[in-house]
Each structure stands twice: as structure tokens, then as C-alpha cells.
Amino acid sequence: MAKSSFDMSLVKELMHKTQEEINKMPPVNVMLVGKTGVGKSTLVNSIFRENLSQTGIGKPVTQHLVKIAKDGVPISLYDTRGLELEKSIQHQVKKEVLDTIKKNKGKEDQIHVVYYCLNAASNRIEASEIDFIKELGKEVPVIVVLTQSIGTPAEEFRKYIYQLNLGIVGVVNIMAQPYPIYESVTIPSSGLVELIDLTFTVVPKEVSEALTNVQQVDIARKAKQARKWATHYIATTFGIGFSPIPFSDATLLVPMQVTMMAHITAIFGMAVDKNTMTTIVSVVGGTSGATFLGRYITSNLLKLIPGVGSIAGGIISGTTASIVTTALGMSYVEVLTILAKSQQEGGTVSMDQLKELMKTKIEQRLKQGKQNPDIQRIRAQQGITKELQNDSPIKAEIIENEKQKTNPIKIGVRQTKKLTQQVQGWLQKSMKLGTKDKKAK
């Protein structure tokens, strides 16, 4: 292909769609409370992407409260200031904080969680702070973050805070950034994943995608979420009811695949730049739009799936479409995971390595065809379990899922009562039916 026709339309569309997906996410709103210098900014810059505390735009909400946000990043931070000042000002800060939380309840600006930061090294909490935390805890989930936590004293401080029964969600020891003690001794960062995991347990479900997007400490969680979403997307889009299309119309698959890849990128929430995206897309046939990718699917990808390539003039069934799409989607998740991990560790992955990785992963999956575990999982979601072998780990997974769904421990008392009544009703009905059946005979 001539260089001049390399029009990048597919890459542009992917980037555009990714941003659209992110814009659709209701943002997660986090409030930071704590005296100046405890490490609020260091904390948020370590757990959330984009160095928000430095690069975000701050808008005053009240005299002592600033809202920090950045376009295209689905989080708003509310940063308090002035808590260390004299009593009368402290009083004002607290009032502003509580008023803002109360006023925004049920609205888009609702505060979902408060990180109340205390310096672990100071090892003390004032009576007025105890009261304030208790008041906050009545309005919103509060996590007490012990910043700059070092060793046993910080652990002890945590236990001490815990037994104060402040009505909070939890207390976490954090070292947000490595902390140098001597030239040769540095305390590594810690506690960030624990804080994020705890945060996930308290924020409403509708902002969990935004939180997955913005957090940068738990990459495995991003990957898991992306895989889960992709599995569901493929199962519903390319499953039963997918009208088979002729090979020549493989371009029809492309818009759905672009949507999938954009949504995966949005869930990951990492800045995938144009170069990286171009490299990844070029692996699957080029960057000049749907036609090209569609042609690539028919001439190269389908050939690799066992049993499919040999059907001359055949059609693409739902199964085949889902095999190709899964190969694209899951390989993409794997590549993004590797990229994110390498970014986290300050390393780089070369474009050549990326290309090779994506190519190998896709081919591997296509060659496995229906035997690929992700495909089996998708088919299981569609209720097709007959082809699973008894020792298949996916079968065990399904059984485990079913168990969790009906786990009686998870059902409340009232529901249990209702369920019992329902079951009794069914039993009576079926017994009546049974006697009728017998009579009929």
C-alpha cells in the first residue's frame, strides 16, 4: 500500500470513540481532608493518573474548598485547605466541608468517598478531629489515610485509630512515594492498592468504571474489568441471533470491534497515544478504515481458525465472528496490561515489541478456535455448555458462579421468607399438576 493512502481514519475513530466512552462515565468524586503538608497532593498524584493535583484545573467551591478536574479524566477531587489554622477558621472549614457534602447528595457532584489524611509520623489525633471525622462518617464513607507510614509505630497508630470507633470505613497505612532515609536506605511505597480496593467497596456501582479508569495502582483490576466487559459484549453481540454474514462482508464486523476496543481503552484509562494505537491497529491489517480491516479479517485471520478457512465461499457465523473478535479484544487487553505495567515501573516497550506481542497473541487465539478458554467462557454465557469437558476449569467456574448466586448466606431474612413462600407455592402447584397428570392417565 502506498504511504499516501495511509489515512489513519481507523486510529482517529478509535481515539475519538474512546473519549466518547469516557465522557459517558459518571465521574467519581473524592474529597481530601487534612492539614496542609500531610501529603494529600502526593497521595492523589500517586493513586490517580494524570498528576491531577499539579495539572488539573482548580475551581474554588467555597472559601476553603477547591474542586480539581481535568477534561477527559472522569474524576473530581475536592481539596480542603485551612484545617491547620486557628480555631475559628477550622470551624468554618468544617462547616463548608459538611455543607458541600450535604448539598451535593443525590446530584452529579455527590461526594462518593472522603480520604481523611493524618500524618502517621505525627502519631496524634486531636479531639476536634475525632469529632469532625465522626460527623463526616455520618454523611459519607470516610477512609482515614495515615500518610508517610513507616513501620511498627504507624501500624500501632492505625490500631489506635481503629479502636476509636469513628464510624468510618477503614484505616489504611500509606507510603505514597518512596521515602529516602539515608543515602542507601529508602522505604518503598506501600498501601496504595489496599486504599483503592477499599475505595471500590464503598463507591456506588455507577462510578466504578470511572474509578477503574482513573486509578493507576491496580493494573490487574483494570485487566479483569476489561476482560469481563469484553466477554459480555462479545457474548451479546456475536452470539446466538447474530445473523451469519458472507465472508465478503467481514467489514460489517469492524464497527462493533472498534466499539469494543474503544471501550477497553476507556476502561483501562491509560493515555494510549496515537503512535501506540497506530502500531496496534496496523497489526490487524492497517489503519485506513473499516474496509481494510474487514479485508484483512477475511484474507488472513479467518484462515487461522481450524475448520473455517477451508469453507470456500462460506459465511461467517456468530461463533466465527466471536472467535475473531475475542482474539482482537483479549489480545488488546493483554497488550495494554503489559504497557500499563511497564509505564508503572517507569520502563518502555518498543513499538516493535508491541507489534510482535499483539500479532503472536492474536494468532495463538485464532489457532485455538473454539478450544480457547475465553471462547468457551463466552459460549457458556450464551448457555452453550454441552461442549465443555467435565474437567474444564470453566465448568467449575460456572458452577461456582451459580453457587454464589443462590448462596443462602447472601440472601436477607425477608427475601428468604419470600423465597420460601414462592417455593411452597410452586410445590403445591406442581403437586396438583402431578395428580391431574395421573388422573389423565
Ligand X SMILES: Nc1nc2c(ncn2[C@@H]2O[C@H](COP(=O)(O)OP(=O)(O)OP(=O)(O)O)[C@@H](O)[C@H]2O)c(=O)[nH]1
In the complex, least distance from residue 35 CB atom to ligand X, rounded to whole angstroms? 7
In the complex, least distance from residue 149 CB atom to ligand X, rounded to whole angstroms? 8
Contacts with ligand X, 78-107, as mask; x by CB under 6 A: ---x--------------------------
Q: CA-CA distance, 435 to 426, in Å (whole number)? A: 14
Closest by alpha carbon to 73, among 41, 113, 44, 40?
A: 44
For 351, what's the count of Cα atoms within 13 Å in the CB-facing half-sphere?
Answer: 12
In the complex, least distance from residue 66 CB atom to Mg ion, rounded to whole angstroms? 10
- Residue 179 binds to ligand X (criterion: CB under 6 A): yes
Q: Judge whether 208 and 186 are in contact, CB under 8 Å.
A: no
Which of ligand X, Mg ion, none has residue 298 at its interface (CB below 5 to 8 Å by kind)? none
Closest CB to ligand X among 149 and 279?
149
Neighbours of 270 (CB within 10 A): 18
Name the 3-class secondary structure at 157. Answer: helix
- Residue 148 binds to ligand X (criterion: CB under 6 A): yes
- Residue 177 binds to ligand X (criterion: CB under 6 A): yes
In the complex, least distance from residue 348 CB atom to ligand X, rounded to whole angstroms? 24
Query: Judged by CB under 6 A, which of 41, 100, 326, 337 binds ligand X?
Result: 41
Written as nine digits, the cell of 289 is 478504515
Closest CB to Mg ion among 40 and 49?
40
- The residues in 46-85 that bind ligand X, with binding defined as CB under 6 A, are 81
Query: Judged by CB under 6 A, which of 176, 266, 293, 378 binds ligand X?
Result: 176
Angle at 198 between CA 197 and CA 199, to 5 degrees: 90
In the complex, least distance from residue 43 CB atom to ligand X, rounded to whole angstroms? 7
Neighbours of 245 (CB within 10 A): 17
**CA dihedral (256, 258, 262, 264) positive or negative:** positive
Query: Judged by CB under 6 A, which of 147, 257, 319, 372 binds ligand X?
Result: 147
Which of Mg ion, ligand X, none has residue 42 at its interface (CB below 5 to 8 Å by kind)? ligand X
Query: Judged by CB under 6 A, which of 11, 17, 39, 358 binds ligand X?
Result: 39
DSSP letters for 221-245: HHHHHHHHHHHHHHHHHSSTTPPPE
In the complex, least distance from residue 400 CB atom to ligand X, rounded to whole angstroms? 39
- Residue 190 binds to ligand X (criterion: CB under 6 A): no
Q: CA-CA distance, 363 to 323, in Å (whole number)? A: 11
Which of ligand X, Mg ion, none has residue 231 at its interface (CB below 5 to 8 Å by kind)? none
Q: Judge whether 144 and 166 are in contact, CB under 8 Å.
A: yes
- Residue 151 binds to ligand X (criterion: CB under 6 A): no
Closest CB to Mg ion among 111 and 254?
111
Query: Judged by CB under 6 A, which of 5, 23, 36, 63 binds ligand X?
Result: 36
- Region of 31-39, 337-345, 406-414, 424-432 interacting with ligand X (CB under 6 A): 31-39
Q: Judge whether 230 and 260 are in contact, CB under 8 Å.
A: yes
- Residue 404 binds to ligand X (criterion: CB under 6 A): no
Name the residue number minimizing CB distance to ligand X. Answer: 39
Which of ligand X, Mg ion, none has residue 36 at its interface (CB below 5 to 8 Å by kind)? ligand X
- Region of 33-41, 206-214, 256-264, 314-322 interacting with ligand X (CB under 6 A): 33-41
In the complex, least distance from residue 45 CB atom to ligand X, rounded to whole angstroms? 8
Closest CB to ligand X among 187 and 338?
187
DSSP letters for 63-74: TTEEEEEETTEE
Radius of gyration of the chain (CA): 27
In the complex, least distance from residue 126 CB atom to ligand X, rounded to whole angstroms? 17
Q: Judge whether 134 and 51 are in contact, CB under 8 Å.
A: no
First and final C-alpha spacing in the chain: 75
- Residue 38 binds to ligand X (criterion: CB under 6 A): yes
Q: Judge whether 194 and 171 are in contact, CB under 8 Å.
A: no
Q: CA-CA distance, 294 to 257, in Å (whole number)? A: 10
Q: CA-CA distance, 191 to 121, in Å (whole number)? A: 16
- Region of 162-170, 173-181, 218-226, 402-410 interacting with ligand X (CB under 6 A): 173-181
Q: Judge whether 77 and 32 are in contact, CB under 8 Å.
A: yes
Q: What is the dihedral of CA 267, 78, 109, 23, to 10 degrees?
A: -30
- Region of 32-40, 90-98, 162-170, 266-274 interacting with ligand X (CB under 6 A): 32-40
Query: Judged by CB under 6 A, which of 42, 104, 110, 381 binds ligand X?
Result: 42
**CA dihedral (308, 309, 312, 315) positive or negative:** positive
The residue count for binding ligand X (CB under 6 A) is: 15
Q: Catalog residues that contact ligand X under the rule CB under 6 A.
A: 34, 36-42, 81, 147-148, 175-177, 179
